[in-house]
Amino acid sequence: DTGVSQDPRHKITKRGQNVTFRCDPISEHNRLYWYRQTLGQGPEFLTYFQNEAQLEKSRLLSDRFSAERPKGSFSTLEIQRTEQGDSAMYLCASSFEGFREKLFFGSGTQLSVL
Amino acid sequence: LAKTTQPISMDSYEGQEVNITCSHNNIATNDYITWYQQFPSQGPRFIIQGYKTKVTNEVASLFIPADRKSSTLSLPRVSLSDTAVYYCLVGTDQGGKLIFGQGTELSVKP
């Protein structure tokens, strides 16, 4: 068990560019979550998957954001036409579906949009 | 999902016991309580989870009164390395998304 892995750790991009982040969950976990966190705030829920199915997506998430989890393993989060307001830490977590599941978080990808 | 309320910040000194209380007045019968810890530039880390009464593990204790409208995370004999943000969350039995509040920023001083 190597934990939840996120890549890259840091990303600097210019406004208007597209970016993609990757998350590799703990191998036996079938649920995968994406959160976004800005300085001084708690993580904000974006979306989550159970296996390859996207079960819920935050209404706060604009259509510039899309997430996939092909084959129920790793997941990608893409942001199109980035804006300065997208600058944040993007966190991925995984869990094993079950009674009172516990989330295991990665170290996040820090996005800076210039 | 039940909303939670916690103090924004707390200060303590090394060796003291720290108690952080969280209010969740609208907790439902099937909801449970979980606490996470977060250090700067890291993702949150699970600390402890409970449904009612008292739960203790190697890191902390969690006290939940009979009405379950609040819970208290107790950290015994804190050290400088316990300086972090602590989040109280309420989730349903079947899991799914967890809603984080602003958390409590604990500062431990020497």
pLDDT of residue B52 exceeding 80: yes
What is the pLDDT at residue A7? Answer: 97
Percent of chain B with pLDDT over 70: 98
Chain B partners of A43 at a C-beta cutoff of 8 Å? 44, 100
The β-bridge partners of B91 are B32
Stretch A9-24: mean pLDDT, rounded?
98
CB contact under 8 A, A108 and B42: yes
| Residue of A35, A50, A42 whose CA lies nearest to A108 | A35
- If you average pLDDT over every residue of chain B, what do you get? 93
- Min Cα–Cα distance to chain B from A55, Å: 9
Q: How far is CA A5 from CA A106, A109, B71, B74, B85, in A?
A: 6, 10, 32, 30, 22
d(CA A71, CA A78): 17
Stretch A75-96: mean pLDDT? 96
* Bigger pLDDT: A59 vs B66: B66
Contact list in A for residue B34 (CB cut-off 8 A) is 100, 102
Establish if B29 touches chain A: CB-CB under 8 angstroms. no
Q: Which chain A positions have a beta carbon within 8 Å of B87's beta carbon?
A: 42
Q: Are B43 and A95 in contact (CB < 8 Å)?
A: no
pLDDT of amino acid A98? 76
8 Å CB contact between B62 and B33: yes
Does A103 sit within 8 Å of B41, measured CB to CB? no
pLDDT band at B83 (very low <50, low <70, confident <90, very high): very high
Q: Say whether residue A21 is in contact with chain B using an 8 A CB cutoff.
A: no
Task: Tell me the shortest Cα–Cα distance from B59 to chain A, in angstroms.
Answer: 16
CB contact under 8 A, A110 and B98: no
